[in-house]
Structure 1
């Protein structure tokens, strides 16, 4: 199921990126990619994903085989609450588009729904990795496409023209679908993933990427406000000075250890366990490395002026996910953790409760 899901996902992205690609084929292949992925999850978790007759309790059969849940039913079962509403609503929109798309307007619809299509593929990747691990990531197979549509004045004009030419029925489908939808869901990047390409001018190293992803959750409040304002006003930056962002992560190793330890029932050392973890996950190079900038930017960056490494909030969450229980710690380090005593745990709980009261 996973292999078939991957095949359809790659075919879908190929259709999208190819200059002669077909939007209907993108919809069809992503539909099947999501369907087989969720079926694989249910199979792995022992969930029966076949329809049953409500009166007899017997399986509904098609050509002698039990009828498996369709994608809409799978989405309802996988995302039953509001926590992941943006993911579910994004996928449901493309189910609706697949059923209604008019072939002669495919190109226009592809342009108008670009951000939502990007979110559909990214949500698929995150769901796949979350349930089956990094070995099943498609990140090494997919690249950011070279595009002219958004990089020229003519391309931007074509985008506006495409939206205006969509037939009323298709425009109404999207409008009705989003009517009554919580604004927070519509603004969620998992529902509509929009980006602004900003050229970076300045010195670079061999480790720099042509396209670098900046996680919205890693930005400061001030940086987020700038991003939101730019999105509202439609500001387009065509050239900018090189801006140093090495301090964006903010967390030293000792701070990482303190934050991790505060959420665990055992001790966590900045120069013991933490060092072992960044080495095992190749988050940063060793102290005497030829190029100290070769870090995993998701979790760590090198602050060249002060010659030290800083870590992200995402790294804190990664550490807790990997060794956050006694069993996980033992499996990772091959030893028992140093447990906190009762007095320490009570003091920690009191501190947490006090912090909650102050914030309230």
Structure 2
């Protein structure tokens, strides 16, 4: 049977995708090779789509309209240009994820490959899953790679000692390498950074009890297929960072979380006016519906990107993403006026640093049972 050219391009794309995953999962795999193969996988995938849709994906001279030639062959669109044509919206999450790895491919220092692999694991998972979704959505489920990919067996990540080693390794990245990701993400909305299409993070919950014939080693749970009680349990585990090992729960909910006064202090460091936890911050979380009121019957009904309810402290805690969100919403005098419909209280001394954060939660941040203000 003679296959069309797009089919052969797609098969080459799949070959690179499988090779990339093999490099990632192999204990002696090379992170640079993973980046290279996923780059080619995405590149060939989009070329296959363009070819099937009869879209000319070669560069032309804007003055003459003639093809730009390399070794007497028309120069094909590079991956960055392909992504811009396939996803015209510069804020598209799939495009942003792929563009990050284009940037990383050009900047990786070989001696820090292992550390960078750890630090970008969720984003790499999203890159592969986005690739699979794009391919199946365009060419159909018969081209899926799901039956050829396996969940890797891991020792480190499934133990407390292993998690500590992974965190330590990630911290060893040099500033220059960390800045590649930091600068890329600086202009991206926090909601995008938390999206699974950009950074796919999972929580592993060991399965206990009797096994059925339908059970696989890895089972993916869809929240909309759970009962209300099951869904609440899973959502709270995801929000609070609960690691479940058989019947024992290890709570890591409050790591890197902030009280209202800490949020106010961090915001005030970045704006030219005063920002109070008791007025501006209170009004912002109310209007943006980040968390329920203090007398809510369901204190857990928060926007988990920005706020969680902590049972341990019987109060609400906020995420660093919330600080970014606040600064983005009201970070200039003009934005402040537009949001609050009043003039900001300008700092009397711009060089004066705000008071150290860490005081008790501000009024309005405690749960109704809490006795604190």
Shared fold (TM-score greater than 0.5)?
A: yes
Verify the 8 A CA contact 1:200 1:240 in the aligned structure 2. Answer: no
| Residue of 219, 224, 229 corresponding to 1:212 | 219
- 2:36: which partner in 1? 28
Verify the 8 A CA contact 1:199 1:240 in the aligned structure 2. Answer: no
- 1:47: which partner in 2? 55
Structure 1 spans left out of the alignment, 5+ residues: 242-360
- 1:291: which partner in 2? none
Deviates more, 1:95-104 or 1:53-62: 53-62
- 2:23: which partner in 1? 15
1:115-146 CA-to-partner distances (Å, cap 9, x unmatched) read 11111111111111111111111111111011
Distance 1:163 1:14 in 2: 22
Pair 1:75-2:83 in alignment = yes
Pair 1:102-2:109 in alignment = yes
Deviation at 1:43, TM superposition (A): 0.2
1:260-282 CA-to-partner distances (Å, cap 9, x unmatched) read xxxxxxxxxxxxxxxxxxxxxxx
- 1:56: which partner in 2? 64
| CA shift in 2, pair 1:184/1:55, >3 Å | same
| CA shift in 2, pair 1:2/1:100, >3 Å | same
| CA shift in 2, pair 1:220/1:114, >3 Å | farther
Verify the 8 A CA contact 1:61 1:67 in the aligned structure 2. Answer: yes
Structure 2 spans left out of the alignment, 5+ residues: 1-8, 249-373
Pair 1:2-2:6 in alignment = no
**Cα RMSD for the two superposed structures:** 1.9
Pair 1:175-2:212 in alignment = no
Equivalent residue pairs, number: 240
**Greater helix percent: which structure?**
1
- 1:125: which partner in 2? 132
Pair 1:87-2:94 in alignment = yes
Distance 2:116 2:190 in 1: 22
Distance 2:229 2:176 in 1: 41
| Residue of 164, 167, 172 corresponding to 1:165 | 172
Distance 1:5 1:164 in 2: 34
Distance 1:231 1:36 in 2: 35
| Partner SS for 1:237 | strand
Deviation at 1:233, TM superposition (A): 3.5
Pair 1:140-2:123 in alignment = no
| Partner SS for 1:172 | helix
Distance 2:236 2:11 in 1: 42
Distance 1:47 1:217 in 2: 38
| CA shift in 2, pair 1:228/1:89, >3 Å | farther
| Partner SS for 1:196 | coil
| CA shift in 2, pair 1:212/1:126, >3 Å | same
Instruction: Using structure 1 for the length normalisation, give the TM-score.
Output: 0.63
| CA shift in 2, pair 1:44/1:26, >3 Å | same
Distance 1:137 1:157 in 2: 35
Distance 1:55 1:66 in 2: 16
Instruction: Using structure 2 for the length normalisation, give the TM-score.
Output: 0.61
Deviation at 1:195, TM superposition (A): 0.5
Distance 2:223 2:188 in 1: 22
